[in-house]
Amino acid sequence: MHDYLLPFGPQHPALIEPVHIKLRVDGETIVGSELVLGYNHKGIEKSFESRWWAKGVYLSQRICGICGAYHTSCYCQGIESLMGIEIPDRAKYIRVLISELERIHSHMLALGIVAWEIGLDTLFHYIFRDRELVMDLQELLTGNRVHFAMNVIGGTRRDVNLEQTRKIEGSLEKLEERFRYYMDIFKNDASVRNRIKHVGHLSKKKAKELNPVGPNIRASGIDFDVRETGYLAYKDLKFKAVTGEGGDVLERCLVRWRECSESVRMIHEALLTLPKSEIALNVPPVIKIKEGLETVSRVEAPRGELIYYMKSGGDKPYRVKIRTPTYQTFHILDEIIRGYGIPDVPTILASIDPCFSCTDRMTVVDVNTRKEKIVTKHDILHMKEDREG
C-alpha cells in the first residue's frame, strides 16, 4: 500500500489555533510530517519598534492569551536591566505569585486538552471545572481572569492583602487534592494509560540533540529550568526543577501535574514569607535609555524558556526579538510523531502544549507563481530603512 497525504489543519477540530501539518500516512501509520506555519502572524516584533518602552508592556501582554504574565514579566525585566534598576522585593514575590498561578492554569488547560484529544470528555470537563478555582484566584488578585496587566516597569500594579491570602490558601488546598486525583487517573486508569503511555517517545539523547524546552525536555530526564537560575524570588523559594523519565506523552503529562504541585508549594511559601516593602518603583512614563544598549531577558514560561532580546533605540526599542518556547519545541514534532498512528497525532501534539500564535513567523507566498519566501531579519531591517527614508 502506498502512502498518501493527510492534511492536519489549518482547520481541524483538534487544533485550537491554525497550523498546518502535512502528514504522510501509510495505512494508519505516520511515515513523515511537515510543519507549515504562517497562519496567524501578527507582526508584533515590528510593532514594538514604533512604541515607547512603557507602551510595549501592553503589546507584550497580548502576544499570548495563556501566558501573558510571563511575556510582560520578561519584557519588564529586560527594560529594568537596561535601565539598571532593581525592583522591590515585594514586587518580585508578587510577580512569582502571579506567574505560578498562571502556570497552574496553563498546565491544567494543556492537560485538559490532552484528556479531550484521547476522547475522554469527562476528564476534560473535570479538569476545566477545577481550573476555574485558579481563574477565580487570578481575578481576585488582578481583577482579570486573563490578560492581568499586573506587571509594570519597575514593579507590579496591585498589592496582595491578608484577606486575599486566606482565600488563596483555601483554594490551593482544594487544588492540591485534585492534582493527586488527576495524577492517579493519568497514571493508573487503564483506558487513559492505553492511549498515552509509550506514545510520542523522545529519548534523552534525541532530546539533547533537538533541544526542546520546558516540560518537554524535563520529561526526557534533562534538568533544564530557567527558574533554577534564581531570577525574581525563586532563589528564596527553594525552587527545585521537576524532571521525569522516558519522555512519552504520559511522562510529559505527569511532569506537568508535578509542576502544578510544586507551584502550589511555592505559592504557599511565597505567601508566608512575603516581604514588606513598596510594590513598584517610581518610573517616569517616558523612559530614555542610551541608544545601542542591549540585553537578553529570560523567564521560565509554562511551556519553557522564554527569551526577549532587546536593543535600545532611545525612547523606543530599536529591536525586540522574542523567542517563544513553542518555537524551540517544534523541532521535536516530526521526531515524536513518526512511526505512530493517526489516532496518536492529536494526543502527541497536545502533549507538547504548543502555542502557535506566540510563535508564528511570516511566510510570503506569491499567489501567481506559488513561490514561498520567509521574511528574514535582514528584510525587516530594510523595511525600517525604507520607511525612514
**Residues near another protein (CB under 8 A):** 4-7, 12-14, 25, 28, 115-123, 125-126, 129, 189, 191-192, 194-195, 341-346
Give the nearest distance from C-beta 103 to another protein in angstroms.
Answer: 24
Give the nearest distance from C-beta 350 to another protein in angstroms.
Answer: 9
Cell 496518536, located at residue:
344
Give the nearest distance from C-beta 34 to another protein in angstroms.
Answer: 16
Helices of type H across the chain: 44-48, 53-61, 68-83, 89-117, 121-142, 162-188, 190-196, 204-210, 215-218, 249-272, 325-329, 333-337, 344-351, 356-359, 377-388
**Quick check: bond before 317 cis, omega within 30?**
no
Give the nearest distance from C-beta 192 to another protein in angstroms.
Answer: 5
- 196: β partners: none
Query: Which of residues 35 and 120 has its CB atom nearest to another protein in the complex?
Result: 120
Query: Which of residues 116 and 356 has its CB atom nearest to another protein in the complex?
Result: 116
Give the nearest distance from C-beta 105 to another protein in angstroms.
Answer: 18
Query: Which of residues 123 and 279 has its CB atom nearest to another protein in the complex?
Result: 123
**What are phi and psi for residue 60, nearest 5 degrees?**
-70, -30
Query: Which of residues 126 and 318 has its CB atom nearest to another protein in the complex?
Result: 126
Query: Which of residues 119 and 292 has its CB atom nearest to another protein in the complex?
Result: 119
Query: Which of residues 141 and 337 has its CB atom nearest to another protein in the complex?
Result: 337
Give the nearest distance from C-beta 129 to another protein in angstroms.
Answer: 5
298 vs 145: CA distance, rounded Å? 25
- Residues in CB range of 94: below 8 A, 6 or more apart: 150, 156, 158, 159, 160, 279
- DSSP label of 376: P
